[in-house]
Amino acid sequence: MGSPLLFLITLLCFIQSLFVVSHNLSKSSTICKTTPDPKYCKTVFPHSQGNVQQYGRFSIRKSLSQSRKFIRTVDRHLKRNAHVSPPAVTRALQDCRFLAGLTMDYLLTSFETVNDTSASLKTLSFPKADDVQTLLSAALTNEQTCLEGLTTAASSSATWTVRNGVALPLVNDTKLFSVSLALFTKGWVPKKKKRAGFAWAHPRSGTSTHTKPFRLFRNGALPLKMTERTKAVYESLSRRKLADGDSNGDGDDGSMVLISDIVTVIQDGTGNFTNITAAVAAAPNNTDGSGGFFLIYVTAGIYEEYVSIAKNKRYVMMIGDGINQTVVTGNRSVVDGWTTFNSATFAVTAPNFVAVNMTFQNTAGPEKHQAVALRSGADFSIFYSCSFEAYQDTLYTHSLRQFYRECDVYGTVDFIFGNAAVVFQNCNLYPRKPMPNQFSAITAQGRSDPNQNTGTSIQNCTIKPADDLVFSNYTVETYLGRPWKNYSRTVIMESYIDGFVEPVGWREWNGDFALSTLYYAEYNNIGPGSNTTNRVTWPGYHVINSTDAANFTVTGLFLEDDWIWKTGVPYISGLIS
């Protein structure tokens, strides 16, 4: 038997360990105070005790389980009701099935990441934490997109089974996803980097770092402004890369773009394919990008087709012969029975998609209301020297991280909308002639949760009326944006704003909805419409300084810019001045 002294020391050590454990653990009621809906959060952890990261892992795992269950529910409804439900309801369910599959991917990746980290230490790097926060933000956006589509489509009493069997359970799933996002933000996102309306700023943000624009392909081997005369160049180039070599001989000096394969789309049959859809189908599946982009050269022509870049068609680069030369066009609309989500003429889901020198259209017209020209829910998607032309809901920046450079966007109501983390740089935004007695709003950002790291940043752009609006015979009220969701977030900075924009700048969505929770800001804009003297006085509106504006630059919003740099697309990483 040991000595009394040894027993006492052992007992004291045990008591101390209990104190340390209890000090690091919290009841669910304490942890849940940090979430948007504490009451619901406590139902997720009714009698448990742990630290925020343990709660976070449990919540994400439960979200993953609920997502699997939801997929089975949607599949069951599609199987039973496909032939009896109205087409609009079936399409909404198909959207939900598509989005739920993506959500499963996002949640699985998120759970694998947080499950590999220490229970007591924050071991995620800045980029890795941003990746997971981005995926959880997108998962929540997917749920709400599904719910909105179902709510709109299933508005009649004949579809009560869809509302009760699919839409209502989805409401609780959305709350659960919000809890997961909140706990991850508290448990893993560095607190010291939270400021100015975004989760954190990159160490380089706040500086005026300029990345020197350079040609898409080195040494002029394939000029960016492609024409029919460059076709012969394709036939003489390496099948591995569009370059004449490099100083190191390893193809990785940063001055060129690696290409794994090249196909051409020519409508007269002299190329590899006559339509874009067939060319996309030929792209390899699930590549990691190490071998380069699969390049699709789409020659001049009017392509009347609905194109979808599926999630497994990674690292596709599509280059046309120029704006208004290579045109992809369609006319689906909500009025004609499509959901806003699936009305898109061109839709991208696959990561690392790049489009250059193309026009995307939806010609349904203003009387058909929501009619999307392009929808991107593709992480690290880039559009350079492209045009997007429609009326209401032209460009759907749905989710994840996106970059637009030297693009033209035409529309009327909410014509740039969605909930991505997106930067528009050196673009032209053209409000056009709407229907009589209709106003125009350039943006309708859809951030619905305070922990989503999303927002629309418009930098060094030009906001001017389209020609049809200039010559319109009636007055059109035009606004910089309006809050689609509670935490809508849009920043316009270092841009030219013409005088046709209303002096108040921004418009309400419905009464005082979101006016105190949104984040709208302007910084260092010029032009007759940039005067902020008579702007709205909402609690969420700000005229910001350079420190805050730096959070909305490329490196401030995305943290890393290698994914843009590797494509050869020119960009500025920080503030212009």
Residue 18 domain-assigned?
no
Helix locations, 116-253, DSSP H: 126-153, 160-162, 168-188, 231-236
Strand partners, 443: 416, 481
Residue 220, judged by CB atoms within 10 A of its CB (0-12, 13-18, 19+), counts as exposed
Joined tokens for residue 178: 């919000």
pLDDT tens digits along 309-367 = 999 999 999 999 999 999 999 999 999 999 999 999 999 999 999 999 999 999 999 99
Strand partners, 522: 492, 543
The pTM assigned to this predicted structure is 0.88
Q: What count of residues does the chain have? A: 577
Residues 353 and 497 in one domain: yes
Domain count, the chain: 2
| Statement: residue 210 has pLDDT above 60 | no
CA distance 47 to 297: 59
Residue in 393, 414, 449, 561 annotated catalytic: 414
**414 classed as catalytic:** yes
Residues 311 and 179 in one domain: no
CA distance 359 to 277: 16
| Statement: residue 426 has pLDDT above 80 | yes
Residue 207 domain-assigned?
no
pLDDT tens digits along 375-415 = 999 999 999 999 999 999 999 999 999 999 999 999 999 99
Residues 174 and 320 in one domain: no
CATH label of the domain that carries residue 180? 1.20.140.40
Q: How many CB atoms lie within 10 A of CB 306?
A: 17
Strand partners, 26: 50
Residue 441 domain-assigned?
yes
Q: Which of 188, 204, 225 is the last residue of a domain?
A: 188
Q: How many CB atoms lie within 10 A of CB 471?
A: 9
Instruction: Give me the phi and psi of 248, to 5 degrees please.
Output: -95, -15
Q: Which of 188, 210, 225 is the last residue of a domain?
A: 188
Residue 175 domain-assigned?
yes
- Helix (H), strand (E) at residue 428: strand 428-431
Residue 526 domain-assigned?
yes
Residue 39 domain-assigned?
yes
3-state secondary structure of 371: coil
Residue 10 domain-assigned?
no
CB within 8 Å of 473: residues ≥ 6 apart: none
Provide mean pLDDT across the span 274-297: 95
Q: Which of 171, 188, 205 is the last residue of a domain?
A: 188
Angle at which helices 52-81 and 87-115 cross, to 10°: 150
- Domain of 149, in residue numbers: 28-188
Residue 500 domain-assigned?
yes
